[in-house]
């Protein structure tokens, strides 16, 4: 028996190269076993010359991707990123790591500095029953516990709730998915948060879809398609100044029609006015177009037209001054806008809206942001509407699925119009031909004004007499006539007399009963002022000097309007409760078993008409920004 010295073990190249001998030019030596032993048998030569069962067959060529650099111990997202990359690399080269122990050895050996100090005891105990890390999943848990960010979930929650789409939808989806990986939210919560951060135009288009996306993935795909379509449409409608122009025609002005490649320069036209001549006319106060006094450029009816040129059947064009000229239509002091707009006042709103009058639009349209600002309820269309442009094409925004009713006043006339909900550009709304045909207003095209013809007062009086209902109880059963005054305006405008069953307010103990005022918008403030004036005039409220008071606020109603209420919650908490038993709802419903006809009565401000016991009125005082 003779002792043999074991050779150096083969070196494993972790950089993605195929395992091979340390020095192929030298003589081959066998690999080292787990524990050395003395043997008389021939030693197998693991690094012998190439054969059909060589190392290339035992270890196939790995994917030629370098593994990440050794981990140095950075805490937070860098640690999680390194772990994800390393595990992905080991999966790509899974044939190099037949067992979990080899994967764990590879991961632990690729750590240095502070991370290497953490990996050393785990690497030393690897494979023993005392080892803390036994599986790859266990390594992930221990690694993230040592180097992960313990506040990652809370930080991701804070970031995802403030994340909004500031650029493309694809970029927004990428950021959203990165943060969502740190959270354990369900699909419904993620879908709601994703929709909240979308651009308002993309969100509006999704809201007008016939079927709403039911999953986060479907919502993201729909938003991506809509965002790409909107950006494509926006790019196709860029101003002509943003597009490259032909250098051979730098003086060409803007045109009302399609661009004509063969048009002549304006200077070749006999009506063309040079820059020097326009400056001279402007200095003398004359019209810069014809040089005459008494009118401005916008009112001039002379030439200044390029020679009409037809291009492949397109309409004739009228050339205007280019946008780079300071004498452009928009720069004239006495200019009358080419757009016809009027100012309307929505009901229960303090601010007016500028709307566009467009006789070429067959319907009226309302911008989505206007419906949101006015809190208008949206109504589903039974059949989706398609908008057709002048060129016969439809915008890429899609069909219209919603409409809304808006009540507004203009020129002393109150009216309600149905608007289709779609993007109207910079205008709050568009009143089209249907509105013009229904109201037939008088239009002054020179001054761009619109008004309604006012009827003579005598005719109005006659119309009121003819329309007056002489018998309002006609058609009402006689047994209900005794309740007619309950619904009348006369009884409503005065307080009922004091009776023995008036509501009493008995306080349990003295305490803080005053509450701070609630803030409100200018529109609600104007509505509040009108309400106070009407109620003071009717005698239903009066100024007070009470030591306690409750705040008021507006709450939305189902029809989209707002209702004024007094917040008596603090007063109710300090009031003695009435323990008188209320009737059982089941007993009340049992009395209606044989009933076939039911009546619904809508009282005028029913809760506000309840009479308070004399002497307790001071306890119901309320405060507003205009006084107590």
Q: What is the pLDDT of residues 122-133, one digit of tens each?
A: 888 888 888 888
223-249 mean pLDDT: 68
Q: Which long-range contacts (CB under 8 A, 24 or more apart) does 246-253 make?
A: 251/322, 252/319, 252/322, 253/319, 253/320, 253/321, 253/322
CA distance 449 to 440: 14
CA distance 194 to 198: 7
pLDDT > 70? residue 266? no
Give me the pLDDT at residue 27, please. Answer: 42
What torsion do the CA atoms of 11, 17, 23, 27 make, to the nearest 10 degrees?
90
Give me the pLDDT at residue 97, please. Answer: 85
Give me the pLDDT at residue 75, please. Answer: 79
Task: Work out the pLDDT band at 42, boundaries 50, 70, 90.
Answer: very low
End-to-end CA distance of the chain: 114
pLDDT > 50? residue 25? no
Q: pLDDT higher for 35 or 524?
A: 524
pLDDT > 50? residue 251? no
Task: Work out the pLDDT band at 190, boundaries 50, 70, 90.
Answer: very high
CA distance 156 to 602: 50
Lowest-confidence region among 19-28, 412-421, 438-447, 555-564? 19-28
164-170 mean pLDDT: 90
User: Is the Cβ–Cβ distance between 96 and 59 less than 8 Å?
Assistant: yes
CA distance 53 to 485: 108
The DSSP code for 28 is P
539-547 mean pLDDT: 81
Give me the pLDDT at residue 2, please. Answer: 42
296-315 mean pLDDT: 49
167-171 mean pLDDT: 91
139-164 mean pLDDT: 83
Closest by CA to 277, choosing from 290, 266, 268, 294, is 290
DSSP letters along 395-409, please? -TT--EEEEEEEEEE
Lowest-confidence region among 148-152, 406-410, 453-457? 453-457
Give me the pLDDT at residue 609, please. Answer: 65
pTM over 0.85? The answer is no
Return the percentage of the chain with pLDDT > 90, whole number. Answer: 4
243-255 mean pLDDT: 42
Pick the CATH number of 341-451 from 2.30.30.220, 2.40.70.10, 2.40.110.10, 3.40.50.1820: 2.40.70.10
- The CA–CA distances, whole Å, from 36 to 6, 32, 39, 472 equal 8, 7, 10, 115
Instruction: Categorise residue 308: left if φ over 0, alpha if ψ from -120 to 50, beta otherwise.
Output: beta
Q: pLDDT higher for 374 or 1?
A: 374
Q: What is the pLDDT of residues 413-430, one digit of tens each?
A: 888 888 988 888 788 889
Q: pLDDT higher for 480 or 389?
A: 480
Give me the pLDDT at residue 484, please. Answer: 78
**Cross-strand bridge partners of residue 255:** 319
The domain spans of the chain are 77-147, 156-236, 265-307+320-335, 341-451, 491-623
Most confident of 173-182, 231-240, 383-392, 602-611: 173-182
Q: pLDDT higher for 170 or 618?
A: 170
Task: Work out the pLDDT band at 172, boundaries 50, 70, 90.
Answer: very high
Give me the pLDDT at residue 299, please. Answer: 64
Q: What is the pLDDT of residues 499-509, one digit of tens each?
A: 887 888 888 87
Q: pLDDT higher for 219 or 401?
A: 219
Q: Tell me what the pLDDT averaged over the chain comes to.
A: 73
Q: What is the pLDDT of residues 369-383, one digit of tens each?
A: 888 888 888 888 888
552-562 mean pLDDT: 79
The widest CA-to-CA distance across the chain, in whole angstroms, is 138
Q: pLDDT higher for 82 or 307?
A: 82
Task: Work out the pLDDT band at 473, boundaries 50, 70, 90.
Answer: confident
Just give the CATH number of 156-236: 1.10.1200
Q: pLDDT higher for 338 or 404?
A: 404
Q: What is the pLDDT of residues 581-596, one digit of tens each?
A: 888 888 888 888 888 8
Instruction: Categorise residue 357: left if φ over 0, alpha if ψ from -120 to 50, beta otherwise.
Output: beta
Helix (H) or strand (E) holding 382: strand 379-385
Query: Is 3.30.497.10 the CATH classification of the domain at 491-623?
Result: no
CA distance 86 to 460: 87
Order of strands, sheet of 622-623, starting from the edge strand that comes earlier in the sequence: 562-566, 550-556, 622-623
């Amino acid at each position: 028996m003779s002792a043999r010295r074991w050779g150096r073990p083969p070196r494993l190249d972790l950089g993605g190269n195929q395992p091979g001998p340390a020095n192929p030019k030298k003589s081959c030596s066998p690999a080292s076993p787990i524990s050395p032993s003395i043997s008389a048998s021939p030693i197998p030569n693991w690094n012998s010359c190439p054969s059909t069962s060589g190392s290339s067959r035992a270890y196939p060529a790995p994917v030629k991707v370098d593994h990440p650099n050794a981990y140095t111990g950075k805490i937070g997202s860098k640690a999680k990123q390194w772990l994800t990359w390393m595990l992905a690399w080991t999966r790509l080269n899974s044939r190099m790591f037949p067992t979990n122990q080899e994967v764990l050895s590879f991961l632990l050996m690729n750590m240095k500095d502070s991370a290497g100090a953490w990996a050393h005891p785990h690497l030393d105990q690897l494979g023993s029953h005392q080892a803390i890390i036994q599986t790859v999943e266990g390594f992930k848990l221990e690694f993230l516990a040592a180097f992960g960010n313990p506040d990652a979930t809370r930080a991701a929650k804070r970031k995802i709730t403030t994340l909004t789409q500031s650029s493309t939808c694809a970029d927004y989806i990428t950021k959203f998915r990165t943060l969502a990986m740190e959270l354990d939210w369900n699909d419904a919560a993620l879908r709601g948060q994703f929709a909240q951060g979308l651009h308002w135009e993309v969100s509006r288009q999704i809201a007008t879809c016939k079927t709403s996306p039911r999953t986060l993935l479907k919502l993201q795909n729909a938003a991506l398609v809509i965002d790409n379509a909107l950006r494509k449409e926006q790019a196709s409608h860029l101003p002509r100044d943003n597009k490259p122009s032909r250098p051979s025609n730098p003086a060409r002005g803007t045109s009302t029609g399609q661009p004509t490649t063969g048009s002549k320069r304006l200077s070749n036209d006999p009506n063309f006015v040079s820059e020097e001549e326009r400056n001279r006319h402007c200095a003398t106060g004359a019209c810069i177009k014809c040089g005459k006094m008494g009118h401005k450029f916008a009112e001039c009816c002379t030439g200044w037209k390029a020679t009409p040129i037809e291009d492949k059947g397109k309409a004739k064009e009228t050339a205007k001054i280019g946008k780079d000229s300071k004498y452009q239509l928009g720069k004239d002091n006495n200019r009358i806008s080419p757009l016809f707009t009027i100012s309307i006042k929505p009901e229960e709103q303090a601010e007016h809206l500028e709307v566009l009058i467009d006789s070429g639009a067959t319907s009226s349209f309302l911008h989505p942001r206007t419906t949101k600002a006015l809190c208008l309820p949206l109504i589903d269309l039974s059949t989706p509407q398609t908008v057709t442009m002048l060129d016969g094409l439809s915008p890429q925004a899609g069909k219209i699925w919603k409409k809304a009713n808006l009540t507004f006043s203009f020129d002393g006339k109150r009216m309600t119009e149905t608007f289709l909900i779609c993007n109207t550009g910079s205008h709050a709304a568009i009143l089209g031909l249907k509105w013009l045909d229904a109201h037939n207003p008088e239009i002054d095209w020179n001054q761009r004004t619109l008004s309604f013809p006012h009827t003579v007062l005598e005719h109005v009086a006659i119309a009121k007499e003819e329309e007056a209902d002489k018998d309002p109880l006609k058609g009402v059963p006689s047994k209900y006539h005794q309740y007619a005054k309950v619904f009348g305006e006369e009884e409503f405008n005065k307080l009922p007399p004091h009776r023995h069953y008036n509501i009493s307010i008995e306080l349990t103990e003295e305490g803080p009963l005053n509450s701070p005022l609630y803030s409100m918008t200018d529109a609600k403030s104007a509505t509040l002022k009108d309400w106070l004036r009407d109620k003071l005039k009717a005698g239903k409220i009066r100024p007070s000097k009470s030591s306690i008071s409750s705040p008021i606020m507006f709450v939305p109603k189902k029809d989209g309007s707002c209702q004024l209420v007094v917040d008596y919650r603090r007063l109710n908490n300090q009031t003695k409760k009435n323990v008188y038993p209320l009737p059982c709802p089941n007993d009340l419903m049992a009395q209606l078993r044989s009933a076939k006809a039911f009546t619904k009565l809508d009282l005028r401000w029913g809760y506000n008409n309840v009479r308070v016991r004399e002497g307790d009125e001071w306890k119901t005082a309320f405060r507003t920004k205009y006084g107590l």
